[in-house]
Amino acid sequence: MQRSKWWGWGDDGKSYHIPDPERFWDYVRARLGPTVFHPPVASLERCEVRRSRLPLSLVAALSNIVGNSAVLTSKTERAGYSLGKSYRDLVRIRAGRVPNPTDAIVQPRTSEDVRAVLDIAARERVSVIPFGGGTSVVGGVEPESDGLVLTVDMGGLSAVVKIDPVSATAVVEAGITGPDLERQLNEAGFTLGHFPQSFEFSTLGGWLATRSSGQNATLYGRIEDRVEALRLAYPGGNLATPDVPAAAAGPDLVQFVCGSEGSLGIITEAKMRLARLPKVRDYRGYAFESFGEGVGAARELMQYGLHPAMIRLSDEPETESTLAMRPPPTGISGVVESAGRWYMARRGIRLEAAAIMIVGFEGEKVSVDHQWNEAKRVLKGYTAFSLGSGVGRAWQASRFEAPYLRDLLLDHGILVDTLETSTTWDNYVALHAAVRDALHGALGERSVIMAHLSHSYSDGGSIYYTFLAPQERGREVEQWERAKVAATNAIVQHGGALSHHHGIGSEHLPWMESYIGSEGMHVLASLKASLDPAGVMNPGKLLPRSQGASRG
Amino acid sequence: MQRSKWWGWGDDGKSYHIPDPERFWDYVRARLGPTVFHPPVASLERCEVRRSRLPLSLVAALSNIVGNSAVLTSKTERAGYSLGKSYRDLVRIRAGRVPNPTDAIVQPRTSEDVRAVLDIAARERVSVIPFGGGTSVVGGVEPESDGLVLTVDMGGLSAVVKIDPVSATAVVEAGITGPDLERQLNEAGFTLGHFPQSFEFSTLGGWLATRSSGQNATLYGRIEDRVEALRLAYPGGNLATPDVPAAAAGPDLVQFVCGSEGSLGIITEAKMRLARLPKVRDYRGYAFESFGEGVGAARELMQYGLHPAMIRLSDEPETESTLAMRPPPTGISGVVESAGRWYMARRGIRLEAAAIMIVGFEGEKVSVDHQWNEAKRVLKGYTAFSLGSGVGRAWQASRFEAPYLRDLLLDHGILVDTLETSTTWDNYVALHAAVRDALHGALGERSVIMAHLSHSYSDGGSIYYTFLAPQERGREVEQWERAKVAATNAIVQHGGALSHHHGIGSEHLPWMESYIGSEGMHVLASLKASLDPAGVMNPGKLLPRSQGASRG
């Protein structure tokens, strides 16, 4: 079964803890107006899910490969695998709607099983959706509206096959989740250093298929930088890329597969580059007088040649919201903050109107200390006030919690979603404003639009937006689409990346051609045709369904 | 015209300076036997070059695009563009043989011109060879034996279009050479940090097309890491990749083009990531008691989390050869070396039987000092003797000189060539020995086989071989092929990269399928078919000529 609760994020018994509820809801209601209680339907059993249309002969053929108990066709099982975790998904599942249920789930245990399932699917023209953690927020795991569909749950391929401490690499099966992988690597003294917000539930295969980027990617690299070699099962074959640290032997086949979002085949295994477990983690907070000032500092930290594990810079609205959500600071933190506020006030700046940055360094103590000395020297060139390490610790403690908060807001009838992009530094502040304005225009006055810089590079950075508004009851999806279209149009028109780390799926597909051009689409379509001529691999995700591809 | 002398490397008046010729030739003759004087033919005019077969109508059509003076068809011009700088190339051109001359050279000045030339070539089924610096050592610019061939000299597209100091990027035309590019970047306070041994003559487009890796790539990255976006002209279209620092929007199209070696189209422009000019460069030498010990230290430096600009570790034979070629140390260097020798002798080690490592750090002074402190701490765990900074300075002064020495050795009837690979650390010493033994087996007792680690990664490193033997007169190419086949078989059988930075061209093509598998070949062939259905783009390089492709 899915690893998250069917109607929202994460473990069933767990919900978001608001330290100071009164203060938090005051903040929310002051901006969005009164909230209404709007719970999900009572149970998955109550959802409308059409019957599986998979012929019994096909169920039997699949059972022959993976065993009877590894072919799931019940209504609730199929419902649980037929939506991801986007706002659009949650609105629908909470209302008991699963409009496009998969026809069956197969749970292979070996790469040979995966291959055999794909061969049957291609022969029988059944679409295949690879399923890792089911955490896609761009429609990556939802079936299309027509045709037979098979979901392949990769959870059975979840072994750490080999850790090589000499080369600092690990061969890992693709269905492993973040915590399972990281625990085994940690025991050997290593880390992959890959911590996307979905870390607790998403899988290595999902990360690779979507070009995932973790919260510490500024130091450890994006997932596509961390993979030395991989194996892809596709209908009719297996692609295994050479197992070398670097090569000049034609275009890099690894990079053909990273980001393919299941449209070429299923990643079954990868050899990942590891880092040593850092001895020290030192994260600290700074308040900048404006987001633009903080962006300048982030740029300078990167171009100066430092290697922070993270630079996270909230814009003014996100800073205000963060401060509204936390408990009032006490003890040392309270003293530090009071001192900071006093210094800031002398320069006419309020903390709530500032832009808070969290910078972290990780590694050997002497190296972390050295980098902090250098970072402080860089930050002296900007109007930045130290907030100490309490802010950093608070962030670390809650780094995977935001999706739980989303469920809580949905319970109160609030639209809440995130979207993200990236651009070069010269275009950063302009793009930040353009998308913010587009969202404000689409959602109206009663909304909160906030953003942060989540990933920095020498040449640019990402922008991660969170937006809230009171839901338009009965028109939740249309309201969201209005905002999504406005924001994505602004992104593409202003030269931003169509996605920095969420991926394309079905939700970003309408903009794909204007983003990479018809020539780029042609190249990707040719690549797909070469490995999946029947067009059965996750159709309608990343690429439009091709003219030539058949339907089930 | 070509930028290098027609019969060898580099500027016409320049030849290699041997500081102590007597000592050097003693070393050579002791190992290879007596040498013979074997100069190249008197002039390019003396070469056998068949006439251009290009129909006058085509010459006229091309002249219409680029102008009369930019379509070259004379014998000497065509001879100068029809071979690269591999050993096989030099043996032939020095003997006055240009077996497969191109039929004409066109010199476009704009990307529109390039596109127009490619469209004509595709329509008329004329093969196209993109030509940057002509420094390929894998047969990348030599025409095939049959069919009409057009060489496109990209030297006319050599402008730095724009430097963006905010994003630290530069838009650059592909035909620019290393020194032209680096000078303009330096004037703006930046560096690309890309210094392959061919730096003085090779071009940005050539680097990108072959996945080039510079001597300082350990810090600045391989060329494919430094490119943010690029433009590719291909028959029938232009591919322009999005201009963003990072994205999760499908497979990375930039990486489809990097390494394509002209087989898809011609790279006309790229936006490159820059680094600030380092304030300090601090390179120092160490002697290890064995190559294996030094490899362990290189691995540890990388996995510890340091960021050296270079780690270059010679094996024992290369150390001996390097010491034989240099002038006897004097002054401070002499004192340091004497002290080093004394210390080493106390442990029973001779410098000539050691493995010399040069480690360099670059950047802000305080950061370089910090990294050297850490590096020394790491090196304490190994049997390493400091040789001071003289060794580092000597290497820097002669970093681009080795190809000139090759010409000098060829003048004396000596086979001299290089080849390279990479592998993971766990396999490094075994692969090093296997290829060395294969070369020894092929070349016999009277040979020198030496190697160095040139590029280090967290998970592995490259191995760069230089091999010398007395030429078998009249059978120079066959003798070389014997060595090349033996070494490359050993590389592929022992899991090494088919090439780490030289590329595939025609010389490595026979091993390509055993290296990336039939599935990988199928993917690359499909990519080529999507952009070059007529099969005119550099046929027979990287990929075998396809069944469907026409001949001129």
Strand order in the sheet with A71-72: A71-72, A104-106, A149-153, A127-131
pLDDT at A545: 87
Residue A3, pLDDT score: 67
The amino acid present at B330, given as its one-letter code, is: T
- Through-space distance between the first and last CA atoms of chain A, rounded to whole angstroms: 25
d(CA A418, CA A464): 7
Q: Does B540 touch chain A (CB under 8 A)?
A: no
User: Does A212 sit within 8 Å of B248, measured CB to CB?
Assistant: yes
Q: Radius of gyration over alpha carbons of chain B, in Å?
A: 23
**Phi, psi (rounded to 5 degrees) for A126:** -105, 130
Q: How far is A159 from chain B (nearest CA, A)?
A: 21
Between chains, do B497 and A249 touch, taking CB under 8 Å as contact?
yes
Which residue of chain A has the CA closest to B272? Answer: A459
What pTM does this model have?
0.96
Return the DSSP state at B97: B
Sequence length of chain A is 552
**Residue A58 burial (C-beta neighbours within 10 Å; 0-12, 13-18, 19+):** buried
* pLDDT tens, residue order, chain A (552 aa): 456 788 899 888 888 888 888 989 999 999 999 999 988 887 888 888 999 999 999 999 999 999 999 999 999 999 999 999 999 999 999 999 999 999 999 999 999 999 999 999 999 999 999 999 999 999 999 999 989 999 999 999 999 999 999 999 999 999 999 999 999 999 999 999 999 999 999 999 999 999 999 999 999 999 999 999 999 999 999 999 999 999 999 999 999 999 999 999 999 999 999 999 999 999 999 999 999 999 999 999 999 999 999 999 999 999 999 888 877 777 776 777 777 787 788 887 888 899 999 999 999 999 999 999 999 999 999 989 998 888 888 888 888 888 889 999 999 999 999 999 999 999 999 999 999 999 999 999 999 999 999 999 999 999 999 999 999 999 999 999 999 999 999 999 999 999 999 999 999 999 999 999 999 999 999 999 999 999 999 999 999 986 444 443
Question: What topology does CATH give the domain B160-276?
Answer: 3.30.465
Q: What is the pLDDT of residue B3?
A: 67
* Phi, psi (degrees; rounded to nearest 5) at A162: -160, 135
CA distance A315 to chain B (A): 20
Find residues 123-182 of chain B whose CB sits inside 8 Å of chain A.
164, 166-169
* Banded model confidence at residue B551, pLDDT cuts 50, 70, 90: very low
Q: How far apart (Å, rounded) are the C-alpha atoms in residues B15 and B515?
A: 38
Give the torsion sign (CA, B314, B318, B324, B327). negative
Contact B81, B141 (CB under 8 A): yes
B413 in contact with A, Cβ within 8 Å: no
Contact A177, A200 (CB under 8 A): yes
pLDDT for residue A30: 95
d(CA B44, CA B55): 24
Cα(A204)–Cα(A194) distance, rounded to whole angstroms?
9
For range B326-351, the mean pLDDT: 77
What b/e readout covers A440-467, taking b as 16+ CB neighbours within 10 angstroms? bebbeeebbbbbbbbbbbbbbbbbbbbb
Rounded to the nearest 5 percent, the helix, strand and coil shares of chain A are 40, 20, 40
**How much is the ipTM here?**
0.96
> Are A305 and B244 inside 8 Å of each other by CB?
no
The CATH number of the domain covering residues in A44-156: 3.30.43.10
CA distance B344 to chain A (A): 28
Helix (H) or strand (E) segment spanning residue B116:
helix B111-124
Helix, strand, coil % in chain B, rounded to nearest 5 = 40, 20, 40
For residue A243, give the DSSP letter.
Answer: -
- Interface contact flag, B515 A457, Cβ < 8 Å: no
- pLDDT at position A533: 96
Chain B residues in contact with A503 by the CB 8 A cut-off are 248-249
Query: How many Cα atoms are found within 13 Å in the side-chain-facing hemisphere of A111?
Result: 21
| Residue B173 CA: distances (Å) to CA of A92, A248, B67, B110, B243 | 50, 22, 20, 9, 15
Q: Which residues of A touch B251 (CB under 8 A)?
A: 255-260, 524, 527
Residue appearing with tokens 């602004």:
A490
A-chain residue closest to B232, CA distance? A519
The per-residue pLDDT for B115 is: 98
Closest residue on chain B to A243 (Cα): B495
Q: Contacts of residue A166 in chain B, CB cutoff 8 Å?
A: 299, 424-426
> What CATH class is the domain A280-397?
alpha beta
- Largest Cα–Cα distance in chain A? 77
Q: Which amino acid is at A175?
A: G
pLDDT per position as a tens digit, B384-430:
999 888 888 888 888 888 888 999 999 999 999 999 999 999 999 99
CA distances from A173 to A106, A110, A154, B92, B538 (A): 17, 9, 9, 50, 39
- From chain A residues 415-474, the ones with a CB under 8 A of any chain B CB are 422-427, 455, 457-462
H helix intervals, A399-500:
402-411, 428-443, 476-493
Measured between alpha carbons, how far is B4 from B199 in angstroms, rounded to an integer? Answer: 12
Mean pLDDT, residues B100-106: 97
Crossing angle of helices A291-303 and A428-443, rounded to 10°? 140
Range B49-155: architecture per CATH: 2-Layer Sandwich (3.30)
CA distance B447 to B28: 9
Q: Residue A18, SS3? A: coil
Cα→Cα distances A63→A57, A58, A60, A107, B40, Å? 10, 8, 5, 10, 72
Q: Is B243 on the interface with A (CB under 8 A)?
A: yes
Q: Write the burial class of residue B58 (CB in 10 Å: 0-12 exposed, 13-18 middle, 19+ buried).
A: buried
Q: Report yes or no: A9 at the B interface, CB cutoff 8 Å.
A: no
Q: Name residues 28-87 of chain B within 8 A of A (Cβ).
A: none
Tell which residue, A500, A422, A501, A424, has the closest CA to residue A460. Answer: A424
Q: Do B523 and A527 touch (CB under 8 A)?
A: yes
Tens digits of residue pLDDT in B257-311: 999 999 999 999 999 999 999 999 999 999 999 999 999 999 999 999 999 999 9
What was the pLDDT predicted at B248? 98
Distance between terminal CA atoms of chain B? Answer: 25
Q: Report H helices in B146-242.
A: 178-187, 204-210, 217-220, 223-226
**Does residue A213 sit at the B interface (CB-CB below 8 Å)?**
yes
Q: Cβ of A246 and B422 within 8 Å?
A: yes
C-alpha angle A334-A335-A340 in degrees, rounded to nearest 5: 95
Minimal CA separation from B376 to chain A, in Å: 13
> pLDDT band at B550, cuts 50/70/90?
very low
Chain A, 259-288: which have a CB under 8 Å from a chain B CB? 259-261, 273-276
Cα–Cα distance, A498 to A482 (Å, whole number): 17
Write down the number of H helices and E strands in chain B.
Answer: 19, 18
Quickly list H helices, A211-360. Answer: 217-220, 223-226, 253-257, 291-303, 316-325, 331-346
Instruction: Find chain A residues with C-beta within 8 A of B239's C-beta.
Output: 517, 519-520, 523
Summarize the confidence of residues B336-360 as an average pLDDT. 85
The rounded distance, in Å, linking the Cα atoms of A208 and A194 is 11
How would you class B60 by CB atoms within 10 Å of its CB: exposed for 0-12, middle for 13-18, buried for 19 or more?
A: exposed
Tokens of B157: 């597209």
Helices (H), A236-315: 253-257, 291-303
Q: Which residues pair with B284 in a beta bridge?
A: B359
A368's CB contacts (< 8 A; 6+ apart) are: A280, A282, A361, A362
**Nearest C-alpha neighbor of A207 from the set A194, A219, A221:** A194
Q: How confident is the model at residue A427, as a pLDDT? A: 98
Main-chain dihedrals φ then ψ at residue A135, nearest 5 degrees? -95, 10
Contacts of B303 in chain A (CB under 8 A): 168, 275-276
Provide the shortest C-alpha distance from residue A410 to chain B (in Å): 27
B528 shares contact with chain A (CB less than 8 Å): no
* pLDDT value of residue A344: 80
For chain A, give every domain's residue range. Answer: 44-156, 160-276, 280-397
